[in-house]
Amino acid sequence: MKKITITKQQAGKRIDKFLAEEFFLYSRGEIIKKIKDGEVLINMKNIKPGYVLGDGDIIEFKNFSKEKNNKLIANDKIQIQILFQDENIIVVNKQAGIQVHPSHNEKINTVVNVLINYFPEIINVHDDSAGANLRPGIVHRLDKDTSGVMIIARNTKSFKELKKCFEERHIEKKYIAITEGTFEEEEGVIEKPLARSASYRKQVIARGNTKTTIREAQTFYKVCKKYGKYTLVEVCPKTGRMHQIRIHLASIGHPVVGDSIYAGKKTGEEQIKAKRQLLHAKELKFTLFGKKYAFIAPIPDDFREFLADIDPALN
């Protein structure tokens, strides 16, 4: 029977949602059934799907088969731009519309599936956490509809070191975004703690009555150019929370154009112009094993097309 000990950072989540995140190829409904069937114990006791995890809780579970649709399949049908590779890392320019690693909803059309076609050796580059074999080499993530530069570890040594660099915030990240509205300040910092929503599908700005785990979040922004009712901004997140840039910008009244979750429903011309959230991971800088790296992902075509539509001078 496998065990997981909950850390302080993991505490505060419901057990069913936590396991659905850890075991990507099981749906939440399947996880709930296993809990109800007594296949999940907390501190050697049966629990309900709504049990909220505490720091130090020990989860024991059985019949979570690693073989259940859990084999990674190389995908040679999708191309991805490789910006750089050496013996330690692979750097890609991820296109919008492709998720980073497999889940129970998508098992083949992901960055991981594409990369193991080029670099099959990364299959064994991961830690021992549940479901880690489905995200080999992955040390950070981008949302499915966010494009831009990503680093993938090519061996266990670089995997551990890069994870440490991200955790200790030694990696400089720069994004660009096309946002709604005109900023009053040319640059600034957004410091608002974040927490998962009750559905766990998105983030919310944490309040005094927030029940899920609250995490600090800090985002710097700088206006690059104004385009009427839109603004091109450069954004530097100092923390790496899920959806951080998107919800932080939305919280100050400047959601990312095309963001279906945080910008609200859009209709008409704008909906046609922006097929996805116009957020792009432009640049990464870091030092690995004493060597300095800097990578820039070219601005994608849909950014240029949107800006050209609203500023004919760019054509």
175, 235 contact by CB (below 8 A): yes
Q: Which residues of 88-115 are buried (b: 16+ CB within 10 A; e: fewer)?
A: bbbbbbbbbebbbbbbbeebeebbbbbb
φ, ψ at 314 (rounded to 5°): -80, -15
Pair of tokens at residue 176: 């660009």
Q: Which residues of 275-306 are buried (b: 16+ CB within 10 A; e: fewer)?
A: ebbbbbbbbbebebeeeebebebeebebbeeb
281, 294 contact by CB (below 8 A): no
> Which of 16, 57, 143, 302 is the catalytic position?
143
Pair of tokens at residue 27: 């749906």
Q: Is 301 a catalytic residue?
A: no
Pair of tokens at residue 270: 């704008």
Identity of the residue numbered 281: A
Residue 295 pairs with which residues in a beta bridge? 284
Question: Which residues are known catalytic residues?
Answer: 143
